[in-house]
Amino acid sequence: MRDMVETIEGWRCIGCGKVDAPAPCIGICQDRRVELVLAHDYAELAWRVEQLEAALALIARVTPKPDQLDASWAALQQRARTLLGEHGS
């Protein structure tokens, strides 16, 4: 997922937050308003999505033994709580 996003290098003011990513103009530029995301924030979100997909894959592809249903369910619940940032039961 991280490889699918185009990034550009630029400068960000630590005071006002202004972002600047200059490039050579070839005379046909038209500025448009865009929404930008900090790479760190995106990377963290992408990591969380990967973890959630892995948890869903377990649910979709793993069949616990009949005598382990309760333990398997408890383990899946704990994994989900961890991914959601919850503590306790």
Chain centroid offset of residue 37 CA = 12
| φ, ψ at 6 (rounded to 5°) | -80, 135
State the pLDDT at residue 5. 72
If we measure between CA atoms, which residue out of 83, 30, 40 comes closest to residue 59?
A: 83
pLDDT one-digit tens code per residue, 40-75: 898 888 988 998 899 889 889 989 899 999 999 999
pTM value > 0.75: no
82: three-class secondary structure by DSSP = helix
Query: In terms of DSSP bridges, do strands 11-12 and 19-20 run parallel, antiparallel, or are they unpaired?
Result: antiparallel
Mean pLDDT estimate for the chain: 85
> Which residues, 6 or more positions from 70, have their beta carbon under 8 angstroms from its beta carbon?
none
- Give the rounded percent of residues in the chain with a pLDDT score beyond 90: 17
| φ, ψ at 2 (rounded to 5°) | -65, -30
What distances in angstroms separate CA 39 from CA 9, 87, 89, one per listed residue?
Answer: 11, 28, 33
